[in-house]
A and B are shown apart, each in its own frame.
Chain A
């Protein structure tokens, strides 16, 4: 049994929880997010040579980065950063959160999900910016909670990164 602790980080209302709802096993209700500040789900990813159980710590999204419970990230081996493609500020929040965790716990693999790709007309993040980030090695996925687009691919990518 191979398990990895993964933290899902992102600003307020970027759609982390609804993005993964259809793809994960879950026993806890979403009220945990507002009470304990974290909700734990499980995603089993089948890779070519093994199966990895990603234990997803879905941390409550807050735009006030200072109130972020950093201790929940301890022991994580990977991150899922989620930003809302229609609010460019959330990308900054996600990247800042990553910087903070890196400063505290060291660098770790991550994937960046730009969510709400179904709302193309409200999109605010330029393709150039995305390409630039990709060139600097970021694994970026345009996702949609509505269609479930690319979500599985992102999990597979992250699983192979953390189980290397």
Chain B
């Protein structure tokens, strides 16, 4: 037995040494940090974009010069919200080469010097970016970011569970409807969650007035009673399996879910909703910024951009995708109104989230924290009942034990 263990350990150690040899000296690693489910990753027969990039690097002369002929390896990892990304970049204990924050986060990261300038004139495929997506509010001079995808928030609902009448109203009110208690999901991040409430109440989502945020929080609190959970990408599973009936999420993700569950439907709330652009940026702490720019350029090339757009189903700011007939056919196959949903929305009802001033952001975060840590009273009663039983049981045991102790002492 001892010998077996020793042998096993020896083997593992040899494996360690071998593993570390294989990856260190002759490769350059590019660290990409992106949203979850936000790239064509080779699953279900799609194109594996990161592997393609590794291949492309091996063949491209310019990149070979850049890396000195070393192999390029992409280290791809994911986050669930802009705030996660911000916390990671700000903590300064990890470094990434390419990140994909949303508009308001681009503005904030640029303002705080956490991302560096990119020379877009060096990105040959930048010419294919549609003009509407150049010089947007968060990066007016196109210095920091290159658009990756854009999208909108709407309400996804299960036609088996939500009545036609409620759905026809096309309102945010569906998320507060008592009939669907325990079947409603809400965003698990303050900006989007407050967004739903503020659009519903008709408040400016970029308000700097504290009272507006307090009002929004009030109805979020009232919503807690009917909400099943606060989720981000868990929403896919929940909606596809029919575990929830109503969820606000991104239009592109609705299409992904619809592929797996045809009972789902989608609408843009009549009160207005959020439009956003997710853009590729290079963090200030990047170790291979030049290679990062090559990666960004690669992501804009036709075949890759289409593969991504088809895999993640978000709208693309890239002309090569938007005008491609194969792509249009492919999307229409997923859902007959796919192009309409992604690209044909009413601009006048859409609002961008701006980077809030520090005071307003603090207000929002504090109110969110308060919302998260507050527990509804119904629960309290439920629990206190249980606790009394628990306490009695525990005390009984303790008393019993100490009695025994005393008995022993005599």
Same assembly:
no
B interface with A by C-beta (< 8 Å) = none
